[in-house]
């Protein structure tokens, strides 16, 4: 089917310029799907991190280390970071594994028309789904370490475009099926990502805005 006759592409504003649906592996769609899934996981892990921060702070205050010493402050920061990364990783792996095992797709994948199957077309077993999720967390997201995870995320985007598959999909024996994504799916997915980005950056940007304009 030609690009001009594809209704999904024709419905997308600037589809011919952006070519969001042009590549058969839909790397842009997979990126948006992963972003949506990360936001969903963050909805559960961020409150946990806040609770952990308060608990650790109370313990350090009780011991007299915080805020009296620099070591107490550093201990608070690194404890929260380490526990936050660990909990985020576990939550993402469980979420991705259980969703792929039960439905063949996560919420983000469902939104962007992506499904995981075995080479026989069946839903992956738990072991395959778990192996894929762990490799995705390590190789695809760099253990979700802030800023560091951006590098493998971008690198794997180009790997997908060149090879047509992700390392963790092939290693787990999983086939990822995609289809052209309708305009409303792009709009909803990008809106969710934009909202999440604004929510994340607002605490850092607002002090600068106050300094510049007030």
pLDDT tens, residue by residue, 96-139: 999 999 999 999 999 999 999 998 989 999 999 999 999 999 99
Q: What is the pLDDT of residue 80?
A: 78
Q: What is the pLDDT of residue 68?
A: 60
Residue 166 in contact with residue 176, Cβ under 8 Å?
A: yes
**Higher pLDDT, residue 94 or 163:** 94
H-type alpha helices, the chain: 7-10, 15-18, 27-63, 70-103, 107-111, 126-135, 150-163, 167-171, 183-213
The CA dihedral of 46, 52, 53, 58, to the nearest 10 degrees, is 160
pLDDT tens, residue by residue, 5-31: 444 444 444 444 445 555 567 888 999
Answer yes or no: is pLDDT of 43 > 90: no
pLDDT tens, residue by residue, 72-105: 677 777 887 888 889 999 999 999 999 999 999 9
Q: What is the pLDDT of residue 23?
A: 57
Q: What is the pLDDT of residue 21?
A: 58
Mean pLDDT value across residues 165-170? 88
């Amino acid at each position: 089917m030609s690009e001009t006759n594809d209704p999904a592409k024709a419905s997308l504003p600037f589809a011919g310029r952006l070519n969001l649906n042009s590549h058969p592996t839909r790397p842009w769609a997979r990126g948006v799907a992963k972003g949506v899934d990360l936001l969903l996981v963050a909805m559960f892990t961020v409150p946990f991190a806040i609770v952990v921060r308060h608990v650790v702070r109370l313990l350090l205050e009780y011991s007299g280390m915080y805020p009296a010493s620099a070591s107490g402050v550093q201990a608070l920061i690194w404890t929260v970071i380490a526990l936050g990364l660990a909990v985020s990783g576990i939550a993402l792996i469980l979420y991705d594994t259980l969703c792929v095992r039960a439905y063949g797709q996560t919420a983000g994948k469902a939104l962007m028309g992506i499904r995981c199957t075995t080479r026989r077309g069946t839903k992956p077993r738990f072991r395959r789904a778990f192996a894929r999720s762990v490799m995705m967390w390590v190789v695809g997201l760099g253990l979700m370490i802030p800023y560091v995870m951006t590098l493998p995320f971008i690198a794997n985007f180009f790997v997908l475009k060149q090879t047509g598959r992700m390392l963790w999909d092939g290693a787990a024996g999983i086939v990822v099926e995609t289809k052209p994504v309708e305009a409303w799916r792009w709009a909803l997915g990008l809106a969710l990502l934009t909202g999440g980005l604004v929510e994340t950056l607002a605490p850092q940007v607002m002090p600068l805005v106050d300094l510049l304009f007030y």
